[in-house]
Amino acid sequence: MADVFLSKLEQMPGEMTVPGDKSISHRVAMIGSIAEGVSVIKNFSSAIDCCTTINCMRKLGVDIRESGSDFVIQGKGPDSLQEPVDVLDCGNSGTSIRLLCGLLAGQNFPTILTGDDSLRSRPMARIMTPLNENGADLRGRQNNRFAPIYINGKRLTAIGYHLPVASAQVKSALLLAGLYTNGKVEIVEPITSRDHTERLLEFCDVDVLKGKQIISLGPNRRPKARNFVVPGDLSSAAFPIALALLLKNAKLKIRDVGINPSRTGFLDVLQTMGAEIQIENRRLQCNEPIGDIVTGYSKLSGIEVGGKTIPLMIDELPLLAVVATQATGRTVIKDAGELRVKESDRISAIVKELKKMGASIEESSDGFIVEGPTPLHGTSCASHGDHRIAMALSVAGWIADGETIIGNAECVDISFPEFYKLMI
Ligand code: S3P
């Protein structure tokens, strides 16, 4: 698959499940690898990004096997990782490279991490600076700003850091580095970001102490192996949810989706816009909240989104732009400058492509403004090599008149390889 050709949909599936959560799968692969004992992982993400993390852990000497649809990780404890014989290639995956920086900073061997063109142009000072300020030795291209990153692994004593920008990747890297210290580990975040690392460490018996915006580690820092079932990925479910809201007469149920409150900003914002969304069968599975999401065609109004809500839906903002083109009134997204340093500049990418389709959307320095509703027209769009842009534009293509072509749509495999098969 290179380009995909889409036309207006009259209907969509009424029920589905989505593959395992990408963020959680990365963490399960890393923490399972340094845990004591065997972990069996069910519903591990099918995303290429998560495969990247598995391959990196294998190159660090960890025995990870596939058994049917499960992954079996033979954890041999925090000090069992081995010096890799080659550079670790993190591909397109920001979560792999940034979390591995933390995990590898405190090892007694050196590692070099690199990635594709997109990853090598994404900011890495945010990860190297806090680790280096805490005694680690990481060096990167252009004065420690970009990958490749050389990690001169060495014992760290303590970790203390006040994050200037909310980032679950940075927080998680510092917590993973903290597992290899004996001293105080305390991380303060300005706004709550996704807390999967904290939840998983807790589930594996590590002492995690959570204050309002402060996370610290207690004396037990050695994770125990656990069997784990990964919840369905809400960031993938977001695409069928958006389509169901926009498609006349659509009704949709998605079972077993992660509904961790640090990830549900998109659902909350949609509900405020007037979306009919119910969550049924709420429960806790392996210390992560999950449930079944029930939704369908809804009349929507514009909304203003900024501040604390942004980290709770950072990956869904390009999709919200598509939804906003069909809502009545003005939608304003602000405080989302982080979108400019994702797999692509997601503000400029989504604004440029939706404009081509006839949307009334303007870019601002830290977000965008949409006036709706406007009919969308099929045309030739670019994915910008970014999976979430390709999928957001596909939803736009399915509600547009005429034919929409998404160029280089194979990038959807980065997070959601089943996307096109599941949707139509
Ligand atoms: C992620 C954190 C977010 C998110 C990314 C996954 C994670 O990035 O955009 O897709 O798994 O920790 P930031 O930490 O840069 O906000």
What per-residue confidence (pLDDT) applies to 424? 81
Pairing, β 404-407 against β 304-305: unpaired
Asked if residues 411 and 49 have their Cβ atoms less than 8 Å apart, the reply is no
What are 114-169's pLDDT values in tens digits?
Answer: 999 999 999 999 999 999 999 999 999 999 999 999 999 999 999 999 999 999 99
Q: Binning pLDDT at 50, 70 and 90, where does residue 212 land?
A: confident
Q: Give residue 7 CA to ligand 1 midpoint distance, Å.
A: 32
Record the tokens describing residue 201, joined without a space: 């460490």
Say whether pLDDT at 170 is over 70.
yes
What per-residue confidence (pLDDT) applies to 1? 59
* Per-domain residue ranges of the chain: 4-19+231-423, 22-229
According to CATH, the topology of domain 22-229 is UDP-n-acetylglucosamine1-carboxyvinyl-transferase; Chain (3.65.10)
Q: Binning pLDDT at 50, 70 and 90, where does residue 63 land?
A: very high
How far apart are alpha carbons 271 and 314 in whole angstroms? 17
* Extended strands (E) in 270-408: 277-285, 288-296, 304-305, 329-333, 360-364, 367-372, 380-382, 404-407
Q: Give residue 169 CA to ligand 1 midpoint distance, Å.
A: 5
- Which residues have a catalytic role annotated? 315
* Extended strands (E) in 184-343: 185-188, 208-210, 214-217, 228-229, 251-258, 277-285, 288-296, 304-305, 329-333
Q: Give residue 59 CA to ligand 1 midpoint distance, Å.
A: 24
Is pTM beyond 0.85? Reply is yes
**Architecture, CATH, for domain 4-19+231-423:** Alpha-beta prism (3.65)
Asked if residues 88 and 147 have their Cβ atoms less than 8 Å apart, the reply is no
For ligand 1, atom 4: residue with the closest CA: 315
What are 409-423's pLDDT values in tens digits?
Answer: 999 999 999 999 999
For residue 165, give the ligand 1 atom closest to its CA: 16
Strand-pair partners of 66:
71
Residues in contact with 410: Cβ distance below 8 Å, sequence separation at least 6, in sequence order: 1, 2
Is-cis flag, bond preceding 373, omega within 30?
A: yes
Among 21, 50, 95, which is best to mutate for testing ligand 1, by the most ligand atoms less than 8 A from CB? Answer: 95
Say whether pLDDT at 307 is over 70.
yes
Q: Tell me the CA distances in angstroms from 62 to 46, 47, 49, 312, one per residue in order.
A: 20, 20, 18, 33
How far apart are alpha carbons 200 and 206 in whole angstroms? 9
For residue 341, give the ligand 1 atom closest to its CA: 15
Q: Please state, for a pLDDT cut of 90, what percent of the chain lies above it.
A: 99
- The ligand 1 site (C-beta within 6 Å) comprises 23, 95, 167-169, 172, 194, 314-315, 338
What are 223-239's pLDDT values in tens digits?
Answer: 999 999 999 999 999 99
What are 338-395's pLDDT values in tens digits?
Answer: 999 999 999 999 999 999 999 999 999 999 999 999 999 999 999 999 999 999 999 9
Asked if residues 65 and 72 have their Cβ atoms less than 8 Å apart, the reply is yes
**How big is the chain by its Cα radius of gyration, in Å?**
21
